[in-house]
């Protein structure tokens, strides 16, 4: 299979064709080899318009959703970003192409170790840092963050993440119930938190006090 051609087609049809306009995001999505971040048994489907399985009964998000989430962060290259839910490390690599530094938290130890190794092999280890733990607590030692992206559904906005967000930063997360969420971007405003929605989405649940218990 010609993965490079499939990646180009993904960018043009699934991303640009559906409204992704940030050229930096499109370039990052064209560069990062998604087929190296999915389960080998579905590698020939790596550039399909759908989520795919990874280890530990988790999934890698649909390419369009990844592109949309990072686009609405509005990164310009100088930012420090927190990612909650490393998974296989795909979105981590995309963020590392777009920001100065990425700090990513993964609750499943096996996924965290696999992502660390994969990101190292692809040359992202200097800009992408992965740690195990409860994503709802963030990464307080590295705060504040110019952007925070949560790749798991929450019932409420995790207060620790808001506290770790820089005053001009943006927090992007799927907010709602287990079966359906709205993709939300949260900024601090003069009247409190300002929330904008960017359509419906479906993510795996965030496990913990701000999501659901296992």
Residues marked active site are found at 61
Query: Which residues, other chains included, contact 183 with Cβ-Cβ below 8 Å and sequence gap of 6+?
Result: 65, 68, 69, 72, 172, 173, 174, 175, 197, 198, 199, 200, 201
Greatest alpha-carbon pair distance for the chain in Å reads 53
Q: Kindly report the three-state secondary structure assignment for every residue of 53-103.
A: ECCCCCEECCHHHHHHHHHCCCCCCCCEEEEECCCCCHHHHHHHHHCCEEE
């Amino acid at each position: 299979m010609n993965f490079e051609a499939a990646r180009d087609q993904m960018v043009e049809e699934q991303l640009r064709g559906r409204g992704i306009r940030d050229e930096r995001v499109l370039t990052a999505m064209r560069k990062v080899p998604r087929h190296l971040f999915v389960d080998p048994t579905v590698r020939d489907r790596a550039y399909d318009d759908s989520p795919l399985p990874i280890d530990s009964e988790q999934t890698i998000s649909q390419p369009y959703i990844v592109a949309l989430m990072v686009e609405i962060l509005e990164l310009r290259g100088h930012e420090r970003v927190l990612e909650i839910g490393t998974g296989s490390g795909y979105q981590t690599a995309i963020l590392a192409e777009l920001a100065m530094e990425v700090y990513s938290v993964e609750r499943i130890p096996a996924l965290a170790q696999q992502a660390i190794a994969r990101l190292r092999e692809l040359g992202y280890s200097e800009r992408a840092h992965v740690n195990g733990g409860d994503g709802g607590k963030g990464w307080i030692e590295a705060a504040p963050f110019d952007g925070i992206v949560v790749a798991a559904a929450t019932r409420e906005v995790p207060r620790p993440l808001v506290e770790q967000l820089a005053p001009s930063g943006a927090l992007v997360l799927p907010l709602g119930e287990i079966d359906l969420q709205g993709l939300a971007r949260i900024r601090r405003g003069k009247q409190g938190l300002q929330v904008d929605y960017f359509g419906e989405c479906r993510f795996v649940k965030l496990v913990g006090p701000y999501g659901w218990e296992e």
